[in-house]
Amino acid sequence: MTDAAGLAGALARDLDAAFPELVTTYQDRMYATALRLTRAPSDAEDVTQEALVRAYRALGGYAPDRIRSLQLRAWLWTILVNLVRNRARTRSRRPHDTALGGVEPAAGADPAGDAVAVVAVTNALGALRPVEREVLVLRYVADLPLDEVSDTLGIPLGTVKSHVHRSLARLRTILGEETR
Amino acid sequence: MSQDLETTEGALRGLRTEAPPSLAGRVLTETGLVDAWTTVRGPGGDLFIAHNPEGVSCVAPVGSLGEFADVHASRTGRRLGVEQELAARQATALRRVLATGRPGSLRIDLRGLTGFQRAVLAKTAEIPPGELRPYAWVAREIGNAGAVRAVGSALNRNPVPVVLPCHRVGRSDGSVGDYAFGRHMKRDLLRAEGTDPDTVDELARRGIRFIGSDTTLVYCHPTCRHARRITAAHRVEFRSAPAAAAAGYRSCKTCRPVAAA
């Protein structure tokens, strides 16, 4: 895995040469983030593609110094989470669209043995408040450090930490009840 | 049975997954960093076409995808991504280009080319189908009469041959000359437009640069549409522009003959 600061430096030097590296470095975790938040593979794919294309266009308009000093991951995930939220908002205005309510089968990349567990955890996440769900997905699925979760969501670090503790406990309770 | 927090964290990590394999290719195509490709039937055989949201970025009359990948990389500096048809509007525009020999409304991606290269290609696109102009003509027309060699190398690196018709530019002695994809290809393309390359070369070999009409007292490049209309009885051959001027002829306002031999 390329480190984010090194990648930001490479992007600042030569955007077009380094951008494919950004895509291959982050596409899996961005897609997984979008998938667990939208719960629909086709939405997750669209949103991830759009986030990366927007990122490229935005970087094209930034001066090299600005690119070099970017918190690359928090910046990328901010774009992604905003697109996910916008999509959810659009969907909720169209009540006949079931994509957000219904649970689609887990993505094909999951090993068959994990599918049941994945569905259970996804359902449990669905029972949390949106902000709790976002915090947990960014922390554990996207694997962002706590300070970057804080930057991405615009929530103070202390609040992120308490969200993580409380939401983990709630998730444990929900999952525990289900398996009892 | 209760799970501890670490197990719950583990369950969340279990939600990680991989992006679909086509995602990166689509992102890089959409950003223009990688071009999609397709093939179409052209005047001299199949054409490979590279494209991205900015337009058609590379065209080559070559026999295989491997050869095309090399041409594409050397012309654009980018790589080829997935096979993908042109958008409907572009596909229609391209069919019209191939049928009419004029670029029309086709969107062409010439990013990465210098202003000089663009000027050369834009001027070349003004040469009507079936007509041939010398490199020196292009150089003078773009206001850079001394840059004949540079015009030649710009045309040799044309990323969209056939579409922007570098096959309509020949040597300054009037002959058909070379082509990045082989002399035969150039001659085939000219023949498909109704120009006989052997006749063109024969005239050049005899040292004839211009054709005039003794009824209008106008002289032209031999393939100019006005020169083609001159009947044998009124056809006058010239070896140079000064010779034509000395005989009392003026240059054609359509094909604008070059003075340089």
Q: What's the structural domain count of chain B?
A: 3
For chain A, what is the HEC assignment? CCCHHHHHHHHHHCHHHHHHHHHHHHHHHHHHHHHHHHCCHHHHHHHHHHHHHHHHHHHHCCCHHHHHCCCHHHHHHHHHHHHHHHHHHHHHCCCCCCCCCCCCCCCCCCCHHHHHHHHHHHHHHHCCCHHHHHHHHHHHHCCCCHHHHHHHHCCCHHHHHHHHHHHHHHHHHHHHHHHC
| Contact map slice: B 12-51 vs A, CB within 8 A | 12-20, 23-24, 26-28, 30-31, 33-34
pLDDT reported for residue B81: 85
| Residues B121 and B188 grouped into a single domain | yes
Residue A150: pLDDT band (50, 70, 90) is very high
Q: What's the structural domain count of chain A?
A: 1
Residue ending a domain, among B161, B184, B206, is B206
- B196 lies in some domain: yes
Q: Does A168 contact B24 at a Cβ distance shorter than 8 Å? A: no
- B8 lies in some domain: no
| Residues B174 and B195 grouped into a single domain | yes
Chain A residue with CA closest to B23: the answer is A49
pLDDT reported for residue A104: 47
Query: Does the pLDDT at position A112 exceed 50?
Result: no
Min Cα–Cα distance to chain A from B22, Å: 10
B222: exposed, middle or buried (Cβ count in 10 Å: 0-12, 13-18, 19+): buried
Mean pLDDT throughout A157-173?
94
Chain B residue with CA closest to A49: the answer is B27
Residue A96: pLDDT band (50, 70, 90) is low
| Residues B81 and B32 grouped into a single domain | yes
Pairing assessment for the beta strands B45-52 and B133-134 based on DSSP bridges: unpaired
How many interface pairs between A and B have CB atoms less than 8 angstroms apart?
Answer: 103
Chain A residue with CA closest to B31: the answer is A53
pLDDT reported for residue A178: 60
Chain A hits for B25, CB-CB cut-off 8 Å, are none
Q: Which of A102-111, A128-137, A153-162 has the lowest mean pLDDT?
A: A102-111
What is the Cβ-side half-sphere exposure of residue B101, based on CA atoms within 13 angstroms? 20
Mean pLDDT throughout B33-56?
91
Chain B residue with CA closest to A142: the answer is B16
- B18 lies in some domain: no
Chain A hits for B28, CB-CB cut-off 8 Å, are 19-20, 23
Mean pLDDT throughout A165-170?
94
The boundaries of the domain holding residue B230 are 208-261
Residue B7: pLDDT band (50, 70, 90) is confident
The boundaries of the domain holding residue A98 are 4-179
Predicted confidence (pLDDT) per residue in A30-80, tens digit: 999 999 999 999 999 999 999 999 999 999 999 999 999 999 999 999 999
| Residues B258 and B197 grouped into a single domain | no
ipTM of the complex: 0.85
Residue B78: pLDDT band (50, 70, 90) is confident
Residue A111: pLDDT band (50, 70, 90) is very low
Of B2, B8, B23, the CB nearest to A48: B23
pLDDT reported for residue A180: 52
Mean pLDDT throughout B210-226?
95
Query: Which amino acid type is present at position B178?
Result: D
pLDDT reported for residue B175: 95
Give the span between the Cα atoms of B39 and A6, in whole angstroms.
39
pLDDT reported for residue B71: 94
| Residues B195 and B129 grouped into a single domain | yes
Query: Does the pLDDT at position A97 exceed 50?
Result: no
pLDDT reported for residue B160: 97
Of A24, A109, A143, the CB nearest to B17: A109
- B217 lies in some domain: yes
The strand pairing partners of B58, in sequence order, are B50
| Residues B198 and B119 grouped into a single domain | yes
Interface-testing mutation among B12, B26, B34, with chain A (most A C-beta atoms within 10 A): B12
Predicted confidence (pLDDT) per residue in B95-139, tens digit: 999 999 998 999 999 988 999 999 999 999 999 999 999 999 999
The helix/strand/coil state of B250 is: strand
Residue B261: pLDDT band (50, 70, 90) is very low
Q: Which residues of A touch B (CB under 8 A)?
A: 16, 19-20, 23-24, 27-32, 35-36, 41, 45, 48-49, 52-53, 56-57, 107, 109-110, 114, 117-118, 120-122, 136-137, 139-141, 143, 168-169, 171-172, 175-176, 179-180
Helical segments of chain B, H only: 5-13, 23-30, 65-76, 88-100, 115-124, 135-141, 148-156, 183-192, 197-205, 225-228, 241-246
B252 classed as catalytic = no
Mean pLDDT throughout B9-24?
91
Query: Does the pLDDT at position A107 exceed 50?
Result: no
pLDDT reported for residue B111: 86
Cα angle B63-B67-B73, degrees, rounded to a multiple of 5? 140
Q: Does B14 contact A117 at a Cβ distance shorter than 8 Å? A: yes
Mean pLDDT throughout B217-227?
95
Predicted confidence (pLDDT) per residue in B79-90, tens digit: 898 899 999 999
Q: Does A172 contact B26 at a Cβ distance shorter than 8 Å? A: no
The helix/strand/coil state of B204 is: helix
Chain B hits for A114, CB-CB cut-off 8 Å, are 14
Query: Does the pLDDT at position A100 exceed 50?
Result: no
Interface-testing mutation among A26, A27, A103, with chain B (most B C-beta atoms within 10 A): A27
- B19 lies in some domain: no
Min Cα–Cα distance to chain B from A37, Å: 11
Chain B hits for A54, CB-CB cut-off 8 Å, are none
Query: Does the pLDDT at position A98 exceed 60?
Result: no
Strongest mean pLDDT among A53-62, A111-120, B27-36: A53-62
Give the span between the Cα atoms of A76 and A88, in whole angstroms.
19
Residue B21: pLDDT band (50, 70, 90) is confident
Domain CATH for B167: 1.10.10.10
Min Cα–Cα distance to chain A from B73, Å: 14
Domain CATH for A123: 1.10.1740.10
pLDDT reported for residue A94: 66
- B108 lies in some domain: no
Per-chain mean pLDDT for chain A: 87
Q: Does B31 contact A28 at a Cβ distance shorter than 8 Å? A: no
pLDDT reported for residue A101: 44
Min Cα–Cα distance to chain A from B112, Å: 12
Chain A hits for B53, CB-CB cut-off 8 Å, are none
More confident residue, B190 or B77: B190
